[in-house]
Amino acid sequence: MLAFPFQIRLNGRAALVADDSEECDAQQIAFLLLTRIGERPLAPEYGTPDPTFDVRGSSEADITAAIAAMGPTVDVDSVTVTPTADGTSSVEITFTR
């Protein structure tokens, strides 16, 4: 699978991530959370209500539900949304495979 975010290695090839790895799961979750619901025409339910994690936006419940519905097959252990000084939030997710 292509790495997210997209990167070019020094050898000129695209960076890859092993399909069945924890890093792949983490990148799939990041991609899901950075996509606004309705942004993908062929998968309109994919994403979260507010990928900027504005203080008024996505909650722990929204994030957990999105991962359960459209993310990789993982067990979400915890989701912590912490507001930052700029009005957005920092999100930390722990999961097990």
CA angle 40, 16, 91 (to 5 degrees): 55
pLDDT 10s digits, 22-77 = 999 999 999 999 999 999 999 999 998 877 776 566 788 888 999 999 999 999 99
Environment class of 33 (CB within 10 Å of its CB; exposed 0-12, middle 13-18, buried 19+): buried
Pairwise pLDDT comparison (84 vs 8), residue with the higher score? 8
What pLDDT sits at residue 8? 96
What pLDDT sits at residue 81? 85
Q: At what angle do helices 60-70 and 22-33 cross, to 10 degrees?
A: 120
Pairwise pLDDT comparison (50 vs 20), residue with the higher score? 20
What pLDDT sits at residue 55? 58
What pLDDT sits at residue 56? 61
CB 32 within 8 A of CB 67: yes
Distances (CA, A) of 1 to 4, 17, 25: 9, 5, 11
The residues near 36 (Cβ < 8 Å, ≥ 6 apart) are 47, 48, 49, 50, 51
pTM for the whole structure: 0.84
Given a cut of 80, whether residue 87 has pLDDT beyond it is no
What pLDDT sits at residue 50? 78
